[in-house]
Amino acid sequence: MSVFSLENKTAIVTGGGSGIGRAIAKVFAQHGAYVYILEFNQENATQTLNEINSDGGQGDWRKCDVSNHKEVKSIIEDITSIRSVDILINNAGIAHVGNIEQTSEEDLDRIYEVNVKGVYNCIHGILPHFKSNKGGVIINMASIASAVGISDRFAYSMSKGAVLTMTYSVAKDYLSDNIRCNCISPARVHTPFVDGFIAKNYPGKEKEMFENLSKTQPIGRMGTPEEVANLALYLSSDAASFVTGTNFPIDGGFITLNG
């Protein structure tokens, strides 16, 4: 049995229908967890579940808009009435490109609703269950933009900075409840979102732009969703029982080696 086994544990993964969220859901299921995917896109969620099932794993999904407080509360109450939940992965998020002048009030509100309020809603919803169980694990998906300045990412950086500090606050406030809270801060990770962004903004120059974006990581490439998922696996396992209130960059040296 793996030292990172999640046997007999249940995890909720928001945004588990694609990219990093899909990789986390699959890796957790491979290591024994029953995985609930909270996802707005039914097709994506179904595809993830099919891949989990075909690999011998178990899971289910719920259609969920993480920005809707009442909906999130109701869904978490429903899930926890069926199974005891041990792990919450706050992965759902959206992006925005632009500096503050290029960020409308509507843009800012949209980013806040999903990336900040969505994390709040899910943590707020699961805490009574974790407190009743005398323990639980929360992993929030932050970003290198939480720690360093990234050009033309004003709203996104704002939201991920909030995720970082929410992580610290929750970790501090719930130490006595045996609830661990950490966050992961990826640099660029090769997901379908990256491919779509390049195709939309740099038509005809996809290969060149992919190489340029890859080279912004000192290690010379983008990360993979599976690499982020493996870090989330460690932090969610009993092997990380001494780890809380910490931000984990997974960035190919971006933060410390780009000077």
How many CB atoms neighbour CB 91 within 10 A? 30
Two tokens, residue 164? 């970082």
Instruction: Give the orientation angle of helix 206-215 with respect to helix 192-201, to 10 degrees.
Output: 120
In whole angstroms, what is the distance from residue 16 CA to residue 47 CA?
Answer: 10
Partnered with residue 39 across adjacent β-strands are 63
Two tokens, residue 55? 């690999």
Site of tokens 């929360």: 138
Give catalytic status of residue 168 as yes or no: no
Two tokens, residue 256? 């410390």
Q: Who contacts 201 (Cβ-Cβ below 8 Å, separation ≥6)?
A: 209
Two tokens, residue 151? 């050009």
Catalytic residue among 34, 36, 156, 174: 156
Q: Name the residue type at position 108.
A: L
- Secondary structure class of 189 (helix, strand, coil): strand
In SS3 terms, 7-49 reads as CCCEEEEECCCCHHHHHHHHHHHHCCCEEEEEECCHHHHHHHH
> Any idea which residues carry the catalytic annotation?
156
